[in-house]
Amino acid sequence: MTIDFSKGEGLVPVVIQDTETLEVLMLGYMNEEAWEKTQAEGKVTFFSRSKNRLWTKGEESGNFLFLDTAHIDCDQDTLLIKVHPVGPTCHTGTRSCFNTDYNQNFIHRLEGIVKHRFDFPSEESYVNRLRTRGLNKIAQKVGEEAVETVIAALAETEKDFINESSDLLFHLIVLLRAKGLSLKDIAANLESRHQ
């Protein structure tokens, strides 16, 4: 990857995105030295314009941003870095510097939680109890939740409909995991259908 550091007086903007949830967490700047350190150590390092020095996110708080992947834009002067964050990203203690009220992409995080509970089962886990009952029972549960969602849409409150829709989506994620599939497979299929 070739980054053009010459356009911004040695600095390029860096958009930081959570790998799992796709939530944009912050914007920072890197010079060539910060980029090299990020690659070498696997922790995102920026160039602090106010302190005029390199700054590894989490060096004081422990809330590191662990490098997953890096992507450069078409002009080679902006980076998108996907990370595994440890703790809140913003110095104010919030998950994102953009201070959204909720994680719009929590569904992707939920999928990761379900996968983890399949991979590391525990007796207390509802996901594990579903998993041990087998594919037929999981599929049956999706069917039951679908019927309850339709009933709530037609005859119950908005809150009931949201709750039933949430149950349906959760159980569908469990079914996808049981079949060895993911939301990415569904997204790719939907995208291929889009005209």
User: 56-73: per-residue pLDDT in tens?
Assistant: 999 999 999 999 999 999
Does residue 99 have a pLDDT over 80? no
The b/e string for 97-123 (b: 16+ C-beta within 10 A; e otherwise) is beeeeebeeeebebbeebeebbeeeee
C-alpha span between 15 and 22 (Å, rounded): 11
**Is residue 57 within 8 Å of residue 89, measured between CB atoms?**
yes
Element (H, E) at 122: none
Give the length of the chain: 195
CB 87: neighbour CB atoms within 10 A? 12
Question: Tokens 């020095």 correspond to what residue?
Answer: 53
CB 157: neighbour CB atoms within 10 A? 9
6-85 belongs to CATH 3.10.20.810: yes
Mapping DSSP onto H, E and C, the string for 74-105 reads: CCCCCEEEEEEECCCCCCCCCCCCCCCCCCCC
106-194 belongs to CATH 1.10.287.1080: yes
C-alpha span between 60 and 36 (Å, rounded): 21
C-alpha span between 176 and 168 (Å, rounded): 12
Does residue 104 have a pLDDT over 70? no
Domain residue ranges in the chain: 6-85, 106-194
Does residue 89 have a pLDDT over 70? yes
Kindly indicate the confidence band of residue 194, based on its pLDDT and cuts at 50, 70 and 90: confident
**Is residue 46 within 8 Å of residue 14, measured between CB atoms?**
yes
| Statement: the pTM of the whole predicted model exceeds 0.85 | no
Of 114, 86, 89, residue with least CA distance to 16:
89
Does residue 102 have a pLDDT over 80? no
Q: Can you give the pLDDT at residue 101? A: 61
**Is residue 139 within 8 Å of residue 175, measured between CB atoms?**
yes
